[in-house]
């Protein structure tokens, strides 16, 4: 049974998956910095722009969630599924996500962030020429 409305669920889900995407981006930055890339700066700059876009969006989501008294709590994870508890004004809803589905959602968010960061990267890159 659903206890949260569509807007609340969409807001909390976006926050959850955006947070996961930020972790992936930060891991990629770390891997490039400590990897065998010959020229690291363009990749790092692009990923940092993506992370900035994600952080700005997440900040707005967090504010909206605070206003609506909405929280997301991790319950448990295993090889196949991850469970989260969505809490909103005394109502709660447990959601189970298939891990490959989470991966696909995070991948889609990363692609969105790439599109948003690309114009930023092109502006900062051309300014340095």
- pLDDT one-digit tens code per residue, 101-125: 999 999 999 999 999 988 765 655 5
Please, are residues 70 and 87 in contact by the beta-carbon 8 Å criterion? yes
Q: How far is residue 98's CA from residue 81's CA, in Å, rounded to a whole number?
A: 5
Give the pLDDT confidence score for residue 121 in this predicted structure: 58
C-alpha R_g of the chain = 17
Tell me: pLDDT of 93 over 90: yes
Q: How far is residue 113's CA from residue 129's CA, in Å, rounded to a whole number?
A: 24
Give the pLDDT confidence score for residue 4 in this predicted structure: 86
Confidence of residue 3 (pLDDT cuts 50, 70, 90): confident
Tell me: pLDDT of 11 over 90: yes
Q: How far is residue 51's CA from residue 46's CA, in Å, rounded to a whole number?
A: 9
Q: Which carries the bigger pLDDT value, residue 100 or residue 125?
A: 100
């Amino acid at each position: 049974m659903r206890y949260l409305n569509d807007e609340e669920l969409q807001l909390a889900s976006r926050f959850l998956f955006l947070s996961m995407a930020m972790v992936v981006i930060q891991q990629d930055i770390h891997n490039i910095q400590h990897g065998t890339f010959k020229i690291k700066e363009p990749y790092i700059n692009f990923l940092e722009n993506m992370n900035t876009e994600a952080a700005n969006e997440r900040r707005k989501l967090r504010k909206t969630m605070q206003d609506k008294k909405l929280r997301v709590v991790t319950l448990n994870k295993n090889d196949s599924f991850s469970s989260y508890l969505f809490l909103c004004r005394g109502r709660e809803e447990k959601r189970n996500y298939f891990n490959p589905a989470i991966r696909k959602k995070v991948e889609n968010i990363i692609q969105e962030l790439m599109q948003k960061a690309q114009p930023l990267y092109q502006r900062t890159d051309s300014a340095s020429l």
